[in-house]
Amino acid sequence: MFINGAWVDAIGGETFEITNPATGAVIGQMPDGDERDADAAIAAAHAAFASWSTTTAYERADILMRAWQLMKDRAGELAELMTTEQGKPLKASRFEVGYGADFLRWFAEEARRITGEWLPSSRPDQRFLAVRQPVGVVAAITPWNYPISMLTRKMGPALAAGCTMVLKPAEATPLCAKAIFEILHEAGVPAGVMNMVTAQNPVPIGDAFTSDTRVKKLTFTGSTAVGRLLAGKAAASLQRVSVELGGHAPFIVYPDADPEQAAKGAAALKFLNSGQACISPNRLYVHRDAADAFVDTLTARVQRLVAGNGMDDGVGVGPLVNDAAVDKVAAQVEDARDKGAGIPVGGYRLTDDGLDKGHFYAPTLLTDVTPDMTVYREETFGPVAPVVVYDDVDQVIELANDTHYGLAAYVYTQSLKTAITAFEALRFGIIGINDVNPTSASVPFGGMNDSGLGREGGHEGLDEYLETKTAGISLR
């Protein structure tokens, strides 16, 4: 673990193994910490806050830019580590490293734009000054599906704002987190400013984060169930909370859309990271007039996908994170099959050619999906594309909004009127219009309802780490 500028073992001396999800091979081990280690990390961050929070924005920006350059220089080795530890194809890992690095550069630039303002008073002899200052110690908990970009999306604004941080990375992917901490240390982040606690059991760490009054903000990316639990506990300490949670994204193909273009977009996005993405489309609403062409194109695309070890050439779909994830996907597919869904492609676990040693499920297409199927209601987090045929254009927005989630949604249409109408009516935080990659370090990312609180990225991402302080100044 990394505490107060040094690599240390867990206080209890325990460790846990990290395995490759494609092969089952052990690729490393990390300290298995507990609440004592979390306390030590929080203490280090708390002690470092006084000095770090008074550094200039230019100093903080310079460190972030050095870290960005180091990430760019080491992009190849970081991508290989990610594929080995997380499983996604090497091409996708390279993309994520670049995306993750972008957050460091973006917030290095934003650090110099933290400003205040003079505000008017009704009294001629009074002035008001409002400034923004760092919130304090930040506790961060990050997921395994994007094990580098989800770190930098939190680290970048925290460091830019002048906060200190304690990170608990996902137990499945701590080696990627370790590599990023090595870069931050080399870039010149002072001791105690960034700390990392690793553990196989996240519960004691989460409890320590949410109960310690020295922690002023909690940021979490993960499941809605865990996010609710953490936010509830953080409320007792009145910690500021931002949580980016699950999704159940609709993908709407209007009758005027090019069905082949829409199907190509759906295939590219749905099977990205084996469907293990919170913005992955989970309900593909296709108008009956476009359904045949859409399904034919999507079927052909899915049939060409190659599942396997992400380090191998030509592989487009890697493993799922563990056997429990495979079982969840299999259960949803079997439920759909039993209730009448068609399965023109996939629908089974992959075990041939050594894939039985990993956690693989075949890229799958479901047709004739209906609202009584589990896959229609629950986030899949796997390589399954469920197609729902609809007839009433006026009703499809209502169908899309019929979920407790509200993270991402997608619309394919050639009509500007339809696009704007859908954009305004869909109750989701991120909308892709003829676009399957509506994200960037420079734009806000986050959802509504059960998909979370707060935004990451963009100008809003920095605001999450700043408090506003106001001075009333008498001129008498």
Would you kindly state where each structural domain of the chain is located, as residue ranges? 2-246+449-474, 249-404+408-433
| Structure token pair of residue 26 | 């052990």
Nearest to 350 by CA among 398, 311, 312, 317: 317
In 10 A of CB 344, how many CB atoms? 16
pLDDT of residue 475: 95
CA 273 to chain centre: 12
Which residue is listed with tokens 């159940």?
A: 248
- 451 pLDDT band, cuts 50/70/90, is very high
In 10 A of CB 113, how many CB atoms? 11
Check: CB of residue 376 under 8 Å from CB of residue 370.
yes
- 144 pLDDT band, cuts 50/70/90, is very high
Check: CB of residue 335 under 8 Å from CB of residue 305.
no
Spatial distance between the Cα atoms of 294 and 365, rounded to a whole number of angstroms: 12
In CATH, the architecture of 2-246+449-474 is 3-Layer(aba) Sandwich (3.40)
Nearest to 182 by CA among 2, 427, 417: 2
Q: What is the mean pLDDT of residues 448-457?
A: 96
- 385 pLDDT band, cuts 50/70/90, is very high
Find all residues with CB under 8 Å of 72, minimum gap 6, and list them.
Answer: 98, 101
Q: Which helix (H) or strand (E) holds 283?
A: strand 281-287
Provide the residue type at 12 as one letter: G
Spatial distance between the Cα atoms of 156 and 406, rounded to a whole number of angstroms: 25
pLDDT tens by residue, 59-87: 999 999 999 999 999 999 999 999 999 99
Q: What is the mean pLDDT of residues 378-399?
A: 96
pLDDT of residue 339: 98
Q: What is the mean pLDDT of residues 202-216?
A: 97
pLDDT tens by residue, 344-358: 999 999 999 999 999
CA 89 to chain centre: 18
Q: pLDDT exceeding 70 applies to what percent of the chain?
A: 100
Check: CB of residue 210 under 8 Å from CB of residue 230.
yes
Q: Using N-to-C axis directions, what is the helix angle for 57-73 and 75-86, rounded to 10°?
A: 70
Which residue is listed with tokens 């002072």?
A: 190
Spatial distance between the Cα atoms of 410 and 272, rounded to a whole number of angstroms: 15
Check: CB of residue 215 under 8 Å from CB of residue 237.
yes
- 230 pLDDT band, cuts 50/70/90, is very high
pLDDT of residue 82: 98
Average pLDDT, the chain: 97
Go through the chain and tell me how many residues it has: 476
Q: Which residues carry out catalysis? A: 244, 278
Taking phi over 0 as left and psi of -120 to 50 as alpha, with beta for the rest, 127 belongs to: beta
pLDDT of residue 1: 97
pLDDT tens by residue, 266-323: 999 999 999 999 999 999 999 999 999 999 999 999 999 999 999 999 999 999 999 9
pLDDT of residue 194: 98
pLDDT of residue 186: 98
Dihedral pair phi/psi, residue 307, rounded to 5°: -95, 145
Nearest to 312 by CA among 24, 83, 94, 77: 83
pLDDT of residue 85: 98
Provide the residue type at 297 as one letter: T
Find all residues with CB under 8 Å of 111, minimum gap 6, and list them.
Answer: 57, 58, 60, 61, 64, 159, 160, 161, 462
pLDDT tens by residue, 156-197: 999 999 999 999 999 999 999 999 999 999 999 999 999 999
Direct distance between the N- and C-terminal alpha carbons of the chain, in angstroms, rounded to an integer: 55
In 10 A of CB 223, how many CB atoms? 15
pTM as predicted: 0.96
- Domain 249-404+408-433 part of CATH 3.20.20.140: no
- 129 pLDDT band, cuts 50/70/90, is very high
Nearest to 271 by CA among 319, 313, 341: 319
Q: pLDDT exceeding 90 applies to what percent of the chain?
A: 100
pLDDT of residue 31: 98
pLDDT of residue 470: 98
Q: What is the mean pLDDT of residues 18-43?
A: 98
Q: What is the mean pLDDT of residues 443-459?
A: 96
pLDDT of residue 56: 97
Q: What is the mean pLDDT of residues 340-347?
A: 97
Q: What is the mean pLDDT of residues 36-65?
A: 98
pLDDT of residue 392: 95
